[in-house]
Structure 1
Amino acid sequence: MFPTEKTTVDGRRLLIREAGGSDAGPVLAYIDRISRETTFLTFGPGEFLLTREEESAYFEKCRRTENALYLLAFLKGTIVGTLTFQAGPRPRVRHAGEMGISVLKEHWGIGIASLLIDALLEWAKDGEIVKKIDLRVRADNDRAIALYRRKGFVVEGRLKKEIYLDGVFYDNLCMGLEI
């Protein structure tokens, strides 16, 4: 299934593939960059503290696990987006997991997040395990919420004051999609 090529809204070729061990350095650089571009993430600059070795080991764990996925999106060889999915390890919860997604700000609005979610949904439908995808999104992130709704996610709950940033509390919405 991966790698796969898709076309962005503005006609560019987007490569989507699973992360591998040699991607750790570029992914950590990407994470450092996005942490400075938006406050909608759960971490800010300097707060994502994994080493290259730890990140590489996580990629390999995802590759070996039937209900986990770490996708990278590339434009002209540069990482422009990521999507992670991790389901539970035990039989009662291995069908359901949480998705995380990010896209470089300069590439917002050209369909990269949509294409990454489509890739996750296709992967989940092709498999026999994943039946539910959950996510958390800050309640004031209107663009992301609109995208998730277009993909079929529904609001399942609200976590009040879950994020604290610069003296202000923000709620998170819990959204889910049954496969």
Structure 2
Amino acid sequence: MPDHDPAIHLERFSETHVEGVAALYNDPAVTRQVLQMPFQSTEVWRQRLMADNERALKLVALHQGVVIGQLGLEAYSRVRRSHAGNLGMGVAVAWQGKGVGSKLLAAALDVADNWMNLHRVELSVYADNEAAIGLYRKFGFETEGLFRDYAVRDGQWVDTLSMARLRNRSNA
């Protein structure tokens, strides 16, 4: 499916998506690529939804009403960091490599640039997640550092890359 597949559409994360988002992140293959804990309840995601604020963008990607991806972008609240935000996302395994991540990122970066006025968008990604790293590079993210033994996954310590996209540098 191309990046512009009309069968995939984006919506703001709402109460109607809570069960789908919980199911997305409870898929063991998705859980192992993000910093979420396995077996999270829908109530955990409902609380995250309720913590919504103007400095946060929370999106879901849907196909025929089913959640196939989720993205969160939050601008930092500290005054000296208000030009920056942090991004995290997950895509259902069956939909990886089919434009869902690109569609979510394009929408989030449009909001970051044109509505939130963010100069810097940051993220962390497991150093062995080559597909995600390639996607982020496609959108102008650059590796800024390596965090060794950053998190535990499958009982092993894993490294994480710190990546960032500076608006007027890599995509002006």
Normalising by structure 1, what TM-score?
0.82
The residue correspondences of 1:99-138 to structure 2 (distance < 5 A) are 99-138=87-126
Where does structure 1 lack aligned partners over 5 or more consecutive residues? 1-6
Q: 1-side partners of 2:95 and 2:85: how far apart?
A: 27
Where does structure 2 lack aligned partners over 5 or more consecutive residues? 168-172
Identity %, equivalent residues: 27
Relative to structure 1, is the Cα distance of residues 107 and 52 closer, same or farther in structure 2, using a 3 angstrom cutoff? closer
The aligned residue for residue 48 of structure 2 is: 55
Q: CA deviation at 1:167?
A: 3.6
Q: Tell whether the 8 Å contact from 1:17 to 1:73 is kept in structure 2 after alignment.
A: yes
SS of the residue 2:81 aligns to: coil
SS of the residue 1:70 aligns to: strand
Q: 2-side partners of 1:89 and 1:15: how far apart?
A: 29
Relative to structure 1, is the Cα distance of residues 104 and 134 closer, same or farther in structure 2, using a 3 angstrom cutoff? same
Q: 1-side partners of 2:90 and 2:84: how far apart?
A: 20
Q: 2-side partners of 1:101 and 1:91: how far apart?
A: 25
Q: 2-side partners of 1:173 and 1:11: how far apart?
A: 30
The one-letter code of the counterpart of 1:42 is L
The residue correspondences of 1:6-17 to structure 2 (distance < 5 A) are 8-9=2-3, 11-17=5-11
Equivalent residue for 2:86, pick from 80, 91, 98: 98
Question: Greater CA deviation, 90-99 or 23-32?
Answer: 23-32
Q: Tell whether the 8 Å contact from 1:23 to 1:56 is kept in structure 2 after alignment.
A: no
Q: CA deviation at 1:10?
A: 8.6
Equivalent residue for 1:82, pick from 66, 70, 86: 70
Q: 1-side partners of 2:49 and 2:116: how far apart?
A: 26
1:68 aligns with 2:74: no
SS of the residue 1:106 aligns to: helix
1:46 aligns with 2:39: yes
Equivalent residue for 1:139, pick from 100, 123, 127: 127
The aligned residue for residue 29 of structure 2 is: 37
Q: 1-side partners of 2:159 and 2:112: how far apart?
A: 28
Normalising by structure 2, what TM-score?
0.86
Relative to structure 1, is the Cα distance of residues 43 and 110 closer, same or farther in structure 2, using a 3 angstrom cutoff? same
The aligned residue for residue 174 of structure 1 is: 162
Q: CA deviation at 1:30?
A: 2.6
Q: 2-side partners of 1:32 and 1:144: how far apart?
A: 19
The one-letter code of the counterpart of 1:25 is E
- Count residues with an aligned counterpart: 166
> Higher RCO, 1 or 2 (CA under 8 Å, sep at least 6)?
2
